């Protein structure tokens, strides 16, 4: 057990060092965080997989699954690295063997090791062309990668400068990385001759992606992760190119344990929430102390609208890692949705003191000002976030929402379009565009964008309701289509209780009183369970009373009329008159209408 555990950790330990030496700092950080996230008493054996349960570990994963799905959190009393041992088994679920991938040897300190060290120092100081120049005549694979990577970063740096010079910090520009053509030529030659390593393949994939060759880029990145599976940056780039489940299923990936992290993250991106949650909770059997996995589980819970469970996980993350900024923008979105101004204020103050120039920090502060109704300040901080990271998807979408609040329609449209340019699967941006065009009185455009958003997020009742309201609007009056959309919303956990009530009203409008009565009764049951009693409740009671009286079911009609007597307003008087009418009908006396006595 101990030897298996050490072998597993040795992979991550070596990966963190090798990635750091190649200036792939995000991937190195990810590997190091995962390394210390391995449970002290849980040894993930390299030959074990997590797809089939074994006896002891399945019980452990089952406990985690139960805790995540119930009100409690499995993170409240979990062991931290270095803390005391526990008798609970935490081995991965076994049954299918992983492939064994040997850790490659480095050629760091060969004949050109000193020059490599100098080049890396220049790279760390963002002097990319100097770094490339130092390694100009070095032939080692490691030196070739760093030289090409430095040229790529120099081209990106120049592209950013050109964009600011031509269009401003947030403007659109056709500036491109001028190094891409030469890099593609060199890296493709190295690949043909077999003189390229997995890191060079990763860079080659980046270059091809930037040039728009997505199919070939996927192929190259698959080669990279198959030969060196510990580079999370390569997995992340591959994920960005998997825009559908069909593409994902057709990838020829080796069954290394890192593949499980990739699949879970891609499932989350593709809105396959149940699959993502199941895989992450199984991974928790090994990486019990991993903050990354906890943050991902919280993100899945947030996406599934389980806000209370997600909030508990985020709170635990902040308690154990108080200076964490990663994923805290998702937490701020959650607090915004719950209108928790005090908690959001505390979070904004904390990240401001930790690192106020992180894009995530700016986004959190922007959310805080938005919740306070200070939309101009919110826009300012979203703009700051985008100056730090022009591809920060969430900031573009949320800034579009703020422009809607400020009635700045052109700016809102531009922000939403920039968001879908970055990620065409961002349903919130498509939904925002639909709202904008609906406000502008252009329902056909609005319908197009609502349909795009509902296709990407088919289980979100809010999107179907928005589409139904568009069909229902005066310019269209497509009632049958609106009814179809409201039915989809009612079957998608409509927490706001809009769909059932609207279905009842529309069926009533079409003269379909039986169908209307069915939906009014369902709406009444839902409102009673949720303890909501407002105008919709009174309206449902009144309709049902009139409906059952009209079909001669006096007992049901009397029941609903009696319930109406508990409310004030004209409906109460109507109920009294109806009860009197029902009693007369039941006793056989004629109606006492004044017209009966007219001369």
Check residue 137 and give its pLDDT: 86
Contacting residues for 570 by C-beta, under 8 A, at least 6 apart: none
Residue 69 vs residues 298, 304, 442: alpha-carbon distances, Å: 12, 11, 42
59, containing H or E segment: helix 55-69
Q: Return the number of other C-beta atoms located less than 10 Å from residue 475's C-beta.
A: 10
Alpha carbon 101 to chain centroid distance?
31
SS3 212: coil
Do residues 499 and 464 touch, judged by C-beta distance below 8 A? yes
DSSP string, 81-99: TTS---SS--PPP-SSPPP
**Which structure tokens are listed for 455?**
């296709």
Instruction: Give φ, ψ of 26 to 5 degrees.
Output: -65, -45
Instruction: Give φ, ψ of 213 to 5 degrees.
Output: -90, 70
Check residue 594 and give its pLDDT: 45
Which phi-psi region, left, alpha or beta, contains residue 67 (left: φ > 0; alpha: ψ -120 to 50)?
A: alpha
Alpha carbon 435 to chain centroid distance?
21
Burial (CB < 10 A; 0-12, 13-18, 19+), residue 411, is middle
- The DSSP letter of residue 594 is G
DSSP string, 516-548: HHHHHHHHHHHHHHTT--SHHHHHHHHHHHHHH
Instruction: Give φ, ψ of 85 to 5 degrees.
Output: -80, 165
Check residue 130 and give its pLDDT: 96
Residue 495 vs residues 81, 128, 334, 338, 380: alpha-carbon distances, Å: 40, 53, 16, 14, 33
Among 45, 59, 61, 47, smallest CA distance to 96 is for 47
The span from the CA of 317 to the CA of 363, in Å, is 19
Check residue 558 and give its pLDDT: 84
Query: Rounded to a whole number, what is the distance in angstroms from the first to the last CA of the chain?
Result: 103
Alpha carbon 455 to chain centroid distance?
15
Check residue 172 and give its pLDDT: 66
Check residue 309 and give its pLDDT: 94
Q: Return the number of other C-beta atoms located less than 10 Å from residue 374's C-beta.
A: 14
Do residues 372 and 407 touch, judged by C-beta distance below 8 A? no
Check residue 113 and give its pLDDT: 85
Among 197, 191, 192, smallest CA distance to 140 is for 197
Burial (CB < 10 A; 0-12, 13-18, 19+), residue 518, is middle
Instruction: Give φ, ψ of 47 to 5 degrees.
Output: -95, 10
The span from the CA of 299 to the CA of 282, in Å, is 16
b vs e for 482-517, b when ≥16 Cβ sit within 10 Å of the residue's Cβ?
Answer: bbebbbbbbebebeebbbbbbbbbbbbeeeebebbb
Q: Return the number of other C-beta atoms located less than 10 Å from residue 210's C-beta.
A: 19
48, containing H or E segment: none
The span from the CA of 210 to the CA of 342, in Å, is 42
The span from the CA of 571 to the CA of 580, in Å, is 14
Check residue 43 and give its pLDDT: 42
Check residue 71 and give its pLDDT: 37
C-alpha torsion sign, points 151, 152, 153, 155: positive
Among 108, 113, 159, 107, smallest CA distance to 134 is for 113
Check residue 85 and give its pLDDT: 37
Contacting residues for 52 by C-beta, under 8 A, at least 6 apart: 93, 94, 95, 96
C-alpha torsion sign, points 472, 435, 339, 337: positive
Rg (the chain; Cα; Å): 30
> In which residue ranges of the chain is pLDDT below 70?
1-5, 40-100, 105-112, 167-173, 588-599
For tokens 């190195």, the residue is 28
Full-model pTM: 0.80
Q: Return the number of other C-beta atoms located less than 10 Å from residue 202's C-beta.
A: 28
Cα angle: 266, vertex 262, 269; to 5 degrees: 15
Among 90, 158, 95, 145, smallest CA distance to 119 is for 145
Residue 161 vs residues 167, 387, 395: alpha-carbon distances, Å: 10, 12, 21
Do residues 205 and 221 touch, judged by C-beta distance below 8 A? yes
Alpha carbon 505 to chain centroid distance?
34
Check residue 598 and give its pLDDT: 43
The span from the CA of 520 to the CA of 536, in Å, is 9
Among 119, 129, 134, 135, smallest CA distance to 155 is for 129
Helix axes 214-227, 232-240, angle to 10 degrees: 150
Do residues 299 and 322 touch, judged by C-beta distance below 8 A? no
């Amino acid at each position: 057990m101990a030897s298996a555990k050490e072998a597993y950790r040795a992979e991550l330990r070596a990966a963190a060092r090798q990635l750091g030496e190649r200036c792939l700092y995000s991937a190195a950080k990810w590997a190091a965080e995962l390394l210390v996230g391995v449970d002290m008493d849980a040894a993930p054996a390299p030959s074990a997989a997590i797809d089939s349960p074994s006896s002891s570990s399945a019980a452990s994963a089952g406990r985690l699954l139960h805790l995540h799905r119930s009100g409690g959190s499995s993170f409240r009393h979990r062991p931290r690295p270095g803390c005391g041992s526990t008798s609970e088994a935490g081995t991965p679920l076994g049954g299918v063997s992983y492939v064994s991938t040997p850790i490659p040897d480095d050629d760091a300190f060969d004949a050109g090791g000193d020059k490599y060290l100098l080049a890396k120092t220049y790279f760390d100081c963002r002097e990319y062309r100097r770094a490339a120049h130092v390694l100009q005549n070095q032939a080692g694979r490691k030196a070739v990668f760093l030289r090409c990577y430095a040229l790529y970063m120099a081209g990106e740096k120049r592209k950013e400068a050109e964009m600011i010079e031509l269009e401003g910090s947030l403007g659109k520009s056709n500036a491109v990385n001028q190094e891409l053509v030469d890099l593609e030529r060199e890296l493709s030659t190295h690949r043909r001759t077999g003189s390229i390593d997995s890191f060079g393949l990763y860079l080659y994939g980046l270059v091809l992606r930037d040039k728009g060759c997505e199919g070939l880029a996927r192929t190259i990145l698959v080669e990279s992760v198959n030969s060196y599976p510990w580079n999370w940056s390569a997995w992340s780039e591959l994920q960005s190119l998997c825009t559908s489940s069909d593409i994902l299923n057709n990838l020829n990936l080796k069954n290394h344990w890192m593949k499980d992290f990739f699949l879970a993250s891609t499932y989350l991106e593709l809105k396959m929430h149940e699959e993502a949650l199941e895989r992450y909770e199984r991974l928790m059997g090994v990486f019990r102390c991993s903050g990354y996995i906890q943050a991902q589980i919280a993100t899945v819970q947030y996406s599934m609208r389980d806000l209370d469970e997600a909030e508990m996980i985020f709170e635990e993350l902040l308690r154990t890692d108080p200076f964490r900024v990663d994923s805290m923008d998702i937490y701020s979105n959650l607090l915004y949705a719950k209108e928790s101004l005090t908690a959001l204020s505390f979070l904004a103050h904390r990240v401001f003191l930790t690192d106020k120039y992180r894009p995530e920090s700016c986004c959190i502060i922007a959310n805080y000002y938005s919740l306070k109704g200070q939309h101009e300040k919110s826009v300012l901080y979203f703009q700051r976030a985008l100056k730090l990271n022009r591809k920060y998807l969430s900031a573009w979408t949320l800034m579009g929402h703020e422009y809607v609040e400020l009635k700045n329609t052109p700016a809102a449209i531009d922000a939403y379009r920039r968001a879908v340019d970055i990620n065409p699967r961002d349903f919130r941006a498509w939904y925002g565009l639909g709202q904008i065009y609906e406000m502008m009185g252009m329902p056909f455009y609005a319908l197009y964008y609502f349909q795009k958003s509902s296709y990407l997020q088919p289980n979100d009742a809010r999107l179907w309701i928005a589409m139904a309201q568009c069909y229902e609007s005066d310019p269209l009056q497509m009632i049958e289509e609106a009814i179809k959309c409201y039915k989809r919303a009612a079957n998608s956990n409509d927490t706001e209780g809009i769909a059932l009530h609207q279905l009842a009203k529309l069926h009533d409008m079409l003269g379909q009183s039986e169908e209307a009565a069915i939906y009014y009764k369902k709406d009444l049951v839902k409102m009673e369970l949720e303890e909501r009693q407002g105008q919709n409740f009174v309206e449902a009671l009144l309709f049902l009373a009139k409906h059952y009286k009209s079909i001669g079911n006096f007992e049901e009609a009397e029941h609903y009329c009696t319930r109406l007597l508990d409310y004030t307003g004209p409906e109460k008087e109507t109920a009294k008159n109806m009860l009197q009418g029902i009693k007369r009908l039941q006793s056989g006396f004629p109606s006492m209408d004044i017209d009966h006595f007219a001369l």
